Copies of this chain bind each other. A is one copy, B any other.
Amino acid sequence: MKKLINDPKTVVDESVEGFGLAHADLVRVSPDPLFVARAGGATTGRVGIVSGGGSGHEPLHAGFVGHGMLSAAVPGPVFTSPTPDPIVAATLAVDGGAGVLHIVKNYTGDVLNFETAADLADAEGVRVVSVIVDDDVAVKDSLFTAGRRGVAGTVFVEKVAGAAAERGDDLDAVAAVATKANSVTRTMGVALQAGIVPHAGEPSFVLADDEIEIGIGIHGEPGRERVTLEPADRIVDRLIGPILDDLPFSSGDQVLLFVNGMGGTPLVEQYIVYRRAAQVLAEKGIEVSRSLVGNYVTSLEMQGVSITVAKLDAELTELWDAPVETASLRWGR
C-alpha cells in the first residue's frame, strides 16, 4: 500500500485540518470533537443541516459545507461512522433556534450513532429531525433487512435540503424536501477495483483482472453480482436498467443525471459513462434537464462509478439551481 499519509491513525485529523486551512473562507474546523461547520456560525432563525459518516468518501460531506448546503459535517474514522459526541457538538453549534436536520446515509452504524446523538441533542433542547437516505437500488429492500444503502444520491438530498433551509423553510418543511428528494432518487454503482483503507493496508476486496462488481456500495460492500468486464456501454445498461425500473421513471419525466466517480476512475471514463446513460434516457423519452459528473461520493481510490437519476419537479429544480458555495459544489455566487 502506497499512500500520501503520515500515519494511518492521523489520516482523518490531518486531512480535515488541511481542509480547514484550504477553505478558511468557507468553514471552521473543530478539532475535538471533530466536525466542520460553516464559517460565521449559526444563522438565527435558520434551520441547521448536519450530515456525516465515515471518512473516505470525500468530498462528501465536508466539501458540501457552506452557503446553500450543509451547516456542518461530521467525519468519522475512515469508513466508520462517527460516534454521537461530535454529532451532538456539531448539532448544537449550528442550531440557530429553528432546529437541526440530520441527513443520514442508511448504514446501521450511521443510523444508530445519529439516533443516539439526536436523543442527546434533544435533551439539550435542540429539536432534531432525521432523514435517512437510501437511494441504492442494488440492495433488496425489506422490513426485515438493513434496507437500502445511502450512496451518491446523498449529494442531491443535501443540496436541495440546504437550499430549502437557505430560503427560510422551517424544520419540518426542510425535512419534507429532503424526504421527497430521497424518494425520487435512485442510484447503482460498479467497481473495477477496490480502494485501500489506510489502517487495513490491503484492498477491501479483490476482483480478478477481468472481473467487475455490479451494485457495489461506497465502502466496497459487495453488490449484486460479479461479472466479466464488458464494454462501458453494456455496463451502463446493467446499472441504468434497474434504476429506471425501480421508481419507475417514465417518458416525459425531467431528471437530474449524475455520474459519480468512485475516486480512482478518470473523468475521461466518467464522461463515456455519462454519454451512454444520456443515450438510454433519451431513447426512453426521459429528459435530462440537469446533470452532474465527477468525484462527489467516493470510496477512497476505488475504480468505478455510480449512476444516479433523480426525478425533478419544479420545486426540486429550483432548489437544485439555487446558489451554493461550498468547497466542492459551487454556483450562483
Give me the interface of A with B, judged by CB distance under 8 Å. Answer: 2-7, 11-12, 14-19, 21-23, 55-56, 58-59, 63, 78, 190, 192-193, 195, 207, 209-210, 212, 229, 231-233, 235, 257, 259, 263-276, 278, 288, 291, 293-295, 298, 300-301, 303-305, 325, 327-328, 330-333
* A231 CB to nearest chain B CB (Å): 4
Which residues from chain B contact A229 at a C-beta distance below 8 Å?
2
Once the chains are docked, how many angstroms separate the CA of A291 from the CA of B15?
15
* Copy count, this protein chain: 2
- B58 lies within 8 A of A268 (CB): yes
Q: How far is the CA of A333 from the CA of B330 in the complex (A)?
A: 9
Question: How far apart are A10's CB and chain B's nearest CB, in angstroms?
Answer: 9
A6 / chain B contacts, CB cutoff of 8 Å: 231-233, 272
Chain B residue nearest in CB terms to A231: B6
Query: Whole-angstrom distance from the CB of A261 to the nearest CB of chain B?
Result: 9
> How far is A16 from B3 in the complex, measured between Cα atoms in Å?
31
> Interface on chain A toward B: helix, strand, loop, or mixed SS?
mixed
How many whole Å from A323's CB to the nearest CB in chain B? 10
Q: Are A235 and B4 in contact (CB under 8 A)?
A: yes
| Minimum CB distance partner of A327 in chain B | B293
Q: Are B268 and A12 in contact (CB under 8 A)?
A: yes
Name the residue on B nearest A261 (C-beta): B295
Closest to A232 in B: B4
Shortest 3 CB-CB distances between A and B: which pairs?
A18-B275, A18-B271, A58-B267
Give A235 Cβ to nearest chain B Cβ, in Å. Answer: 7
Closest Cβ neighbor of A233 among chain B residues? B6
